[in-house]
Amino acid sequence: MNHQQMTDRIARGNGFIAALDQSGGSTPKALRAYGVADEEWNGEDQMFARIHEMRSRIIRSPAFSGEKVVGAILFEKTMDGTVDGVPVPRALLDKGVVPFLKIDKGLEDEANGVQLMKPIPDLDALLERAKGLGVFGTKERSVINSADPQGIADAVAQQFELGHQVLSHDMMPILEPEYSIKAPDRQEGEAILRDEILTNLDALPEARQVMLKLSLPVERDFFRPLVEHPRVLKVVALSGGYSREEACAELARNHGVIASFSRALLDGLRAQMSDEEFNRTLGEAIDAIHRASRQKVDA
């Protein structure tokens, strides 16, 4: 797929984006959930090797294809790895899955109710390397914990600043100002967040688009103005701590939004499973998430 074909594939949204981008801080927890105990690996290299085995098994699975998965977000080490000797981005493209790269390097301490992204050194070089491997776009996450107008404005401004840098490399940024679903003032804060995003979208040049990755909102279809904005290629949702069943139910209430789930996709997969059991379990998860991304409810 060339750049325009990948753009069209994401715009149609006939599926969802798999988030296979657990980084250093979240990898041990992901491995435990996959049935790999801490004592089964020693050091960072072994840890990433074990998580790469899991991701390779997912990508290799016949259940994981462009029929229902339109994109996948990769951790940098995953992007640089291979599946059966094939570079991971190429393995995805061969299956009709558009590759993205997680570029954020973690979060700063909370200030004004938000956690901004840490600096990303040598980003331009990373973007050029990723683009050379066939990666279509990026994903960058910050976190909002309370309805502080200044904090939310700062988080959105940082997201768009980084988005402009990604766009300068002719790549597609997924901006992810995640609103914690545990925040007691989430509905109030989501209104501030939506307005800030709209203001920044309106300031984008006409020829430019971004993607948005947002927590599923308290009010159904609350992000419809973002879905319909001409500067937005696609709005995707994170599961944000919901179970798969809960996340899919919430997703189905939001028209035009597709999933970009991580834990809710991987839940139930175990290293000890036979290939038949693994593929069946993964297929059931993919079917449920695809259905919620495509089939919406009005009640």
Catalytic site positions: 176, 213
Question: Smallest Cα–Cα separation from 155: which of 181, 193, 203, 183?
Answer: 193
Dihedral, 158, 162, 167, 170 alpha carbons, nearest 10: -160
Contact (Cβ atoms closer than 8 angstroms) between residue 73 and residue 259: no
How many whole angstroms separate alpha carbon 215 and alpha carbon 210? Answer: 17
The CA distance from 141 to 176, in Å, is: 5
Is 135:171 a contact under the CB 8 Å cutoff?
Answer: yes
Q: Which of 90, 181, 85, 162 shows the shortest CA–CA distance to 130?
A: 90
The greatest distance separating any two alpha carbons of the chain, rounded to the nearest whole angstrom, comes to: 53
